[in-house]
């Protein structure tokens, strides 16, 4: 399995995997695949990595700029992340998160935030201590990982493409 940046030829496979992986997820808005296309169109897909196995795309992770407390200063949002259902629970999701975070650090990002299950993301160092909030969501799902400088606080705001989730 290799992890590499997306190319234009991967776009449809990314869409399919994201749709399939989130189809059964209870927390899904079912707009995740469209959000990725919109992020790309808007120039907000800062980092888009695919996991490839035997020439097939089996997983994907996206990162895009976020604001915290109204400030945009090199913080990025993790997600959506998806692994093809028949390849889940084999470490592919973890490899996408780990390599994505390493790539963000390499581009001098200050930190990463996400909405997600602490049982999965805690292992990568994400914390939810209530300093970041998101639209009344229980704080344990609003997580952050500080790379550099002081931790920001306030409401988390995603790129406009994520408004598709609220439609
Ligand atoms: C979440 C997802 C990307 C993880 O990918 P994966 O390749 O299965 O992940 P890994 O094999 O690296 O799993 C690592 C660990 O996370 C656990 N895990 C996987 N999905 C989890 C979830 N949704 N909640 C809690 N733990 C989860 C696994 O049990 C595993 O734990 P273990 O090592 O103690 O057994 C994948 O399950 C998926 O595509 N889910 C549907 C889409 C989704 O929910 N995306 C995340 C939105 S926040």
Instruction: Kindly list the domain boundaries of the chain, sorted by start residue.
Output: 2-166
Residue 52: which residues within 8 A CB-CB, separation 6 or more?
1, 2, 3, 4, 58
Q: What 3-state DSSP class applies to 58?
A: strand
pLDDT, average across residues 37-63:
98
Supply the DSSP symbol for 30: S
Predicted confidence at residue 167, as pLDDT, reads: 58
The Å distance, Cα 99 to ligand 1 centre, comes to 15
pLDDT in tens, 125-146: 999 989 999 999 999 999 999 9
Task: Say how many Å lie between the CA of residue 31 and the centre of ligand 1.
Answer: 19
Q: Which residues contact 5 (CB under 8 A, 6 or more apart)?
A: 47, 48, 49, 50
Q: Residue 35 — very low, low, confident or very high, per pLDDT cuts 50/70/90?
A: very high
Residues paired with 58 in a beta bridge: none
Question: Which pLDDT belongs to residue 74?
Answer: 95
CA of 126 from ligand 1 middle (Å) equals 15
Which residue has a Cα nearest atom 26 of ligand 1? Answer: 120
Q: Could you please state the CATH topology (level 3) that the domain comprising 2-166 is classified under.
A: Aminopeptidase (3.40.630)
């Amino acid at each position: 399995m290799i992890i590499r940046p997306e190319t234009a030829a991967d776009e449809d496979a990314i869409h399919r995997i994201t749709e399939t992986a989130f189809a059964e997820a209870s927390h899904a808005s079912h707009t995740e695949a469209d959000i990725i296309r919109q992020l790309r169109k808007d120039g907000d897909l800062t980092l888009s990595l695919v996991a490839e196995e035997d020439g097939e795309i089996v997983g994907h992770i996206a990162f895009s700029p976020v604001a915290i407390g109204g400030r945009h200063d090199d913080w990025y949002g993790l997600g959506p992340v998806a692994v093809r259902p028949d390849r889940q629970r084999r470490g592919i999701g973890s490899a996408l998160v780990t390599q994505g975070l390493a790539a963000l650090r390499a581009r001098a990002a200050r930190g990463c935030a996400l909405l997600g299950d602490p049982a999965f993301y805690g292992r990568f160092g994400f914390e939810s201590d209530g300093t970041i909030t998101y639209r009344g969501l229980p704080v344990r799902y609003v997580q952050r990982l500080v790379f550099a400088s002081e931790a920001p606080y306030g409401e988390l705001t995603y790129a406009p493409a994520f408004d598709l989730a609220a439609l």
